[in-house]
Each structure stands twice: as structure tokens, then as C-alpha cells.
Amino acid sequence: MDRANAALAHYLLARGHEVHLVGHEIAAPLEHHRGARVHEVARPRGLPALAERMLGRTGRAVARAVVAADDRARVVVNGGNCPWPDINWVHAVHAAWPVFDEGAPWWARTRARRLKKIAVDRERAALRAAAVVIANSASTRRAVIDRVGLASARARTVYLGSSPDWGVPDAAERADARAWLGLPPDVPVVVFVGALGNDINKGFDRLWRAWTDLARSGSWDARLVVAGGGWRVAHWQAEAARTFGDGHVQFLGFTPKVREVLAAGDLLASPVRYEAYGLNVHEALCRGLAVMVTESAGVTERFDAGMAASLLPHGATADQIAQRLRAWRADTAGWRARAAPTAARLRARSWDAMAADFVAAAMQPEAQATA
């Protein structure tokens, strides 16, 4: 969501528009742009509901002032964070995203359900108030129609874009990335990118069970690199220390160097339970990796037919994930080759192209909106 919002802001600023940015943190290139007006909102530590209320209050105040000064101004908000009767850009749908927190402390599970109810209620109010809703995938669009009750003519789909510097790494970049991670040049590497906190929606628990079973078989030679922060990182690190030798599994925690991690990898595994889109999968394909992802993720709508083997069934078990990993390991070159046409199309669509489509969709009269 942050990457897409930033891309839209850059696109509008480059065309001479004044852009007001409301958020908890604003990236430096945007913050210092002469056309940007930055409104940063404090984020109270450990109080997400309060943080969202503060964000929404500031957003509405800025929107009122900007529209009062120029009635041609347009307001873009995300989901339930700031109800406003203009454009709502939806990157996930809480009403379609159940809580997945098995193994979390009881108090965390109680809190998660309370926060989920708040998020669903806020989302419903904000989306129903919007003049137009733009979704990041067709499945996200269906969710706002079916789960939130939005009229279909008010919902449009705009797929995400890509950065030109997220292409296939050359041999030198790949060697540098592997050296940074301490990986041998010829070992197959599986990458997981996702948060490892209370919410286990990203499916690492299922990948871990599959990986453990494969390792116990005695014939599994791949390495696993995990990028993502959260309190469960320490738990999985302890599990890895008990189960594997040094270097077999690496937990990087939160890292800004995902681009480098992908340069070192061969397969991105994403056995998600819910995924409105899946930018990690999108970026992995652009970097030349094969992917394995749950078929319900929005990004799979952009896959070619030749990538059928990359799709995990919704609710995939550890056994099914292990079987798919074995299939990939037996044909790593074939998986990469079959992903290449999809990857080329994703790389060809820039963030500016996405932003242009977003503006066109936002300006499209309701009567002309397509299903």
C-alpha cells in the first residue's frame, strides 16, 4: 500500500500538481518535494486503534481545507482509515480477511478480534461513503461488492506497477547478494517475505511444517531465507536451531534489503491464507524468481496459463506444500522459464502506468464503469 501510494504521489507531483500527504511517516523524496505538503501524524506506540483515529481526524481536516480552497481538488484515502466521499483506494478488505493468530497469547487474540471488528466497521462506513472505490485486483473488487455491499458500478480495478530497477539480477549482483547472506553459489534458495507477528496469515507456519518434513527426508538440499519482522521470529529461530544446522535456514527479521534477498533466491514461497494482491510475489517474478503462491491471491489473476503449477490450493496443507516444493526442486529451470512471460509483462508495466490508469479510473463516470 505504501509503495503504491508513493508512486501515485510521485506521478502527480511530476505533472505539476500540488499534493497533500497525510500519514504516520512520509518518505524523504516526497517530504522534500517542492510541490508536496506534508502532514505527519504521530503514531502512539502499541495503540493502533488510536493511531488510526488520529490519522483519520487529520485526513478529514486536511481534506476539508483543501477542497474549501479549490473545489477541483480530489481526495484519495485507503480503506477505512479516513472516511471521505471521493476516491477510496483499497489494498485489502478486512471483511474478507479473517483473523489468523493460532499460537498467539490469549490477550493478543482477544485484542486482535476487537481490532478486527473496529476495522470492519470503519471499512464499511468509509467504502459506502466513497464516490468511487479502486481495488488492486479483481478479487479485491469482488470482496468490496460481495462483503461490503458496494454497488458494482462504483468499484474499479487498477493493477499495481513495477520499478525498472527491480529486474533480473546479473551474475555479479546475484553473487554479491549470496555473499552477503553467506550462501554458496550453487545451492537452491527458497525465499519467504512476510511478517511473523501475531497474525499468521502469510502462512509461514505451514511452510515451516513442510520444510521440516522435507529436511527430515535426508534428500532435501535447498536453503531457506526468511525476511520479515515480528515476535514470532525468535520462536522460529529457536525451532531452526533445534532442527537444522547452521546456515540451513536464515531469519533476517525486518529488512529494507528485500531487493537483495530476492537477487539471491530461486523460488519465492507465499502460502498465504488471504492476500488481496501480493506485491512480494509480483516483485519476485520481476527479479526472475519462480514463485509458489495460494491461488486466491490477487496477483495470480495476472499469471499466464503456463504457471498453473505455481498455484497452491486455498487452504493448502503442509503435505501439499512439500509436494509442490519437491516438484519445483526437480525442475527449477522449467519453473523459472514458465514464469518468464508473466514476469516480462509485470516488468513492462511501470508505476507511472499504474498511476495514469488510477487517474483515468477515478475520473471515469459511474455510468461508464465496467464490471
Q: What is the pLDDT of residues 278-300, one digit of tens each?
A: 999 999 999 999 999 999 999 99
Are 115 and 207 part of one and the same domain? no
Please count the helices (runs of H) and the strands (runs of E) in the chain.
13, 12
Residue 105 in any domain: the answer is yes
Boundaries of domain holding 87: 2-161+351-368
Are 253 and 133 part of one and the same domain? no
The letter for the amino acid at 78 is N
Has residue 59 got a pLDDT over 80?
Answer: yes
Has residue 246 got a pLDDT over 80?
Answer: no
Q: How far apart (Å, rounded) are the C-alpha atoms in residues 270 and 101?
A: 17
Are 243 and 148 part of one and the same domain? no
Q: How confident is the model at residue 371 (pLDDT cuts 50, 70, 90)?
A: very low
Are 316 and 357 part of one and the same domain? no
Has residue 98 got a pLDDT over 60?
Answer: yes
- Through-space distance between the first and last CA atoms of the chain, rounded to whole angstroms: 23
Q: Which residue has the cell 486536511?
A: 62
- Residue 327 CB contacts under 8 Å (≥ 6 apart), including other chains: 309
Q: What is the DSSP-derived secondary structure letter of residue 162?
A: B
Residue 326 in any domain: the answer is yes
Are 179 and 309 part of one and the same domain? yes
Are 112 and 252 part of one and the same domain? no
Show the cell assigned to 108: 493478543
Are 60 and 122 part of one and the same domain? yes
Residue 166 in any domain: the answer is no
Displacement of CA 46 from its chain's centroid (Å):
22
Has residue 370 got a pLDDT over 70?
Answer: no
Q: How confident is the model at residue 28 (pLDDT cuts 50, 70, 90)?
A: confident
Contact (CB, 8 A) for 183 and 216: no
- Determine the pLDDT at residue 91: 96
Are 139 and 240 part of one and the same domain? no
Q: How confident is the model at residue 44 (pLDDT cuts 50, 70, 90)?
A: confident
Residue 62 in any domain: the answer is yes
Q: What is the pLDDT of residues 139-164, one digit of tens each?
A: 999 999 999 999 999 999 999 999 99
Are 63 and 101 part of one and the same domain? yes
- Residue 47 CB contacts under 8 Å (≥ 6 apart), including other chains: none
Are 340 and 285 part of one and the same domain? yes
- Determine the pLDDT at residue 297: 97
Are 177 and 323 part of one and the same domain? yes
Q: Any idea what the CATH number is for the domain that residue 339 is in?
A: 3.40.50.2000
Alpha helices (runs of H) in the chain, residue ranges in sequence order:
2-14, 28-31, 48-69, 106-129, 138-146, 171-181, 204-216, 232-243, 258-264, 279-286, 318-330, 332-348, 351-363
Contact (CB, 8 A) for 362 and 77: no
pTM score of the predicted model: 0.93
**Number of structural domains in the chain:** 2
Are 208 and 183 part of one and the same domain? yes
- Residue 67 CB contacts under 8 Å (≥ 6 apart), including other chains: 73, 75
Q: How far apart (Å, rounded) are the C-alpha atoms in residues 6 and 96?
A: 25
In the predicted model, what is the mean pLDDT of residues 241-259?
87
Residue 136 in any domain: the answer is yes
